[in-house]
C-alpha cells in the first residue's frame, strides 16, 4: 500500500517520536511510505527519520517552528505529492496537519483520509476556540480514525460529525527489553522525584512544585529532576526562585534517554490533566519506576491503580503530596508497582504487538 503520512514537524518531545519507534520496529516495511512534514521541528528527530527513510521524507519548510505560511504551502505540497505518488491512504497527524490535509483531501475524493489522534482535547496557545469547530466541520472528509489509545479514540469522537468510519488504536510507544531499568528500590539520601514532558501550563509542573513545598515543610528532604523543555521554562525558573527551591529542583532540558537517567529516582510523577497516550508515563513504567499520575488519556488504558501505579483524580498539590508520601514510607509498595509496571509494558507494547496493530489498521 502507498501511504502519505503528513505531520506538523518533528518536535523532540512530541508525538512524532512514536512514528520513529514504529519505523524502527518495521511497522511499515511492507508498504510504500512517504512522509511530508510542514516544518522540520526542533532537535535531531527529523535527522533521525531522514537517516531511516532518506528522500522519502520531504519538508515544506526547513524552519524549526510551524507557521501559517508553511501550512498554506503545505496544502499545495500535499496536492502535488499526491498527484505524483498516488497514495491510497493519507494519514494526518496532529491538528494543523489535519486542517491542511483534510482541506486538500476535499479535492481528492478517491483517497482514503485517516485522522491520527494523539490527544483527547484540542489545545493551542493561539486560535484555541477555532480548532475544535474547524476540525469537526472538516471531519466530513475523514474515512478512518486512528488513535494512540482507546481512551483517545473515545474522547475525540466529539470532534467528528456523525458518519460511518473505521476506528483503530495504533500505539505510539514500543517497549524494548534492552532499555535500562530500576533494580534497587531502597531510599538513599532523602527522596528523589522525577518528571518528564514538554514544559507548558497543561503539564501542571507548578502543582508538583507545590507538592514539593508541602513535603519539605514536613521535613522531607525531597529533590526533583525535570526532563523536558518548552515555553514555560522561564516561568518555572521564576517559581523555583520564589519558592526557594533552586537547589532542590534541576531542569535538565530535553533528553531522549531521560528514563535511563531517571532510574535513580524513587518516584515518577505526572500531573497533566490532558493526555493522549502519554509516552513519558509509559517510558517511566518501562524503566521500572513507581509512578504517580492523574487518571487521564491512555493512562486509563494501561495504568491500574494500586497494581502498576498510584492514580490521583486531579492535579492538586495535596493529592500529589499524599500519594508521594505513601510511596516514600512503603518500600515493598514501590518495588511491587515498579516491577509490575515494567512487566506490563513489556507484555502489552512489545514490537510484535505494535506491528500487528499497524497491520490491522492498514488492512482496511
pLDDT value at residue 132:
83
Say if 11 falls within a structural domain: yes
Task: Give, to the nearest 10 degrees, the angle between helix 233-243 and helix 205-217.
Answer: 20
Which residue shows C-alpha cell 505540497? 77
Do 73 and 116 sit in the same domain of this protein?
A: yes
Do 12 and 138 sit in the same domain of this protein?
A: yes
> Domain range spanning residue 281?
191-348
Q: Is the pLDDT of residue 124 over 70?
A: no
Sheet holding 191-196, edge to edge: 249-253, 222-227, 191-196, 267-270, 291-294, 310-312
Do 115 and 207 sit in the same domain of this protein?
A: no
pLDDT tens, position by position, 69-90: 999 999 999 999 999 999 999 9
pLDDT tens, position by position, 7-50: 999 987 767 888 998 999 999 999 999 999 999 988 889 999 99
Say if 182 falls within a structural domain: no
Do 141 and 281 sit in the same domain of this protein?
A: no
327: left (phi over 0), alpha (psi -120 to 50) or beta: alpha
pLDDT tens, position by position, 190-233: 999 999 998 888 899 999 999 999 999 999 999 999 999 888 99
d(CA 65, CA 335): 42
Do 327 and 239 sit in the same domain of this protein?
A: yes
pTM of this prediction?
0.92
Q: Is the pLDDT of residue 162 over 80?
A: yes
Task: Write the CATH number for 305.
Answer: 3.40.50.2000
Do 202 and 168 sit in the same domain of this protein?
A: no
Do 116 and 8 sit in the same domain of this protein?
A: yes
Average pLDDT over every residue of 177-191: 90
Q: Is the pLDDT of residue 160 over 90?
A: yes
d(CA 181, CA 330): 20
Q: Residue 240 in contact with residue 250, Cβ under 8 Å?
A: no
Do 333 and 243 sit in the same domain of this protein?
A: yes
Q: Is the pLDDT of residue 126 over 80?
A: no
Say if 180 falls within a structural domain: no
pLDDT value at residue 15:
78
Instruction: Report the SS3 class of residue 118.
Output: coil
Say if 329 falls within a structural domain: yes
pLDDT value at residue 325:
97
pLDDT value at residue 128:
63
Do 235 and 149 sit in the same domain of this protein?
A: no
Average pLDDT, the chain: 93
- Number of domains present in the structure of the chain: 2
pLDDT > 90 fraction of the chain, expressed in percent and rounded = 82
Do 215 and 287 sit in the same domain of this protein?
A: yes
Do 307 and 319 sit in the same domain of this protein?
A: yes
Task: Give, to the nearest 10 degrees, the angle between helix 95-105 and helix 128-138.
Answer: 30
Do 307 and 262 sit in the same domain of this protein?
A: yes
Say if 186 falls within a structural domain: no
pLDDT value at residue 127:
61
Amino acid at each position: 500500500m502507498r501511504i502519505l503520512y503528513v505531520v506538523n514537524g518533528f518536535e523532540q518531545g512530541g508525538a512524532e517520536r512514536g512514528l520513529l519507534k514504529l519505523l524502527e520496529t518495521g511497522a511499515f516495511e511492507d508498504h510504500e511510505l512517504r512522509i511530508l512534514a510542514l516544518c522540520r521541528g526542533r532537535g535531531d528527530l527529523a535527522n533521525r527519520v531522514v537517516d531511516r527513510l532518506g528522500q522519502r521524507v520531504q519538508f515544506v519548510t526547513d524552519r524549526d517552528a510551524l507557521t501559517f505560511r508553511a501550512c498554506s504551502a503545505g496544502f499545495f505540497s500535499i496536492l502535488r505529492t499526491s498527484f505524483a505518488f498516488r497514495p491510497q491512504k493519507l494519514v494526518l497527524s496532529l491538528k494543523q496537519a489535519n486542517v491542511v490535509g483534510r482541506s486538500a483531501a476535499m479535492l481528492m475524493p478517491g483517497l482514503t483520509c485517516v485522522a491520527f489522534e494523539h490527544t483527547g482535547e484540542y489545545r493551542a496557545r493561539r486560535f484555541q476556540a477555532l480548532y475544535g469547530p474547524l476540525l469537526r466541520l472538516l471531519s466530513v472528509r475523514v474515512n478512518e480514525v486512528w488513535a494512540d489509545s482507546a481512551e483517545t479514540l473515545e474522547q475525540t469522537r466529539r470532534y467528528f460529525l456523525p458518519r460511518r468510519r473505521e476506528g483503530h488504536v495504533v500505539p505510539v510507544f514500543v517497549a524494548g527489553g534492552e532499555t535500562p531499568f530500576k533494580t534497587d528500590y531502597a531510599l538513599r539520601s532523602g527522596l528523589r522525584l522525577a518528571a518528564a514532558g514538554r514544559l507548558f501550563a497543561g503539564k501542571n509542573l507548578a502543582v508538583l512544585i507545590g507538592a514539593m513545598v508541602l513535603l519539605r515543610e514536613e521535613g522531607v528532604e525531597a529533590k526533583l529532576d525535570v526532563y523536558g523543555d518548552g515555553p514555560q521554562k522561564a516561568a518555572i525558573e521564576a517559581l523555583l526562585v520564589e519558592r526557594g527551591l533552586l537547589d532542590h529542583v534541576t531542569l535538565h532540558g530535553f533528553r531522549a534517554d531521560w528514563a535511563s537517567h531517571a532510574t535513580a529516582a524513587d518516584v515518577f510523577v505526572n500531573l497533566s490533566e490532558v493526555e493522549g497516550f502519554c509516552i513519558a508515563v509509559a517510558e517511566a513504567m518501562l524503566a521500572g519506576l513507581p509512578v504517580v499520575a492523574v487518571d487521564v488519556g491512555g493512562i486509563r488504558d494501561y495504568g491500574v491503580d494500586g497494581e502498576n501505579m498510584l492514580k490521583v483524580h486531579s492535579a492538586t498539590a495535596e493529592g500529589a503530596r499524599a500519594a508521594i508520601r505513601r510511596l516514600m514510607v512503603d518500600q515493598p509498595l514501590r518495588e511491587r508497582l515498579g516491577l509490575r509496571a515494567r512487566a506490563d509494558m513489556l507484555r502489552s507494547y512489545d514490537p510484535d504487538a505494535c506491528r500487528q496493530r499497524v497491520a490491522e489498521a492498514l488492512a482496511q
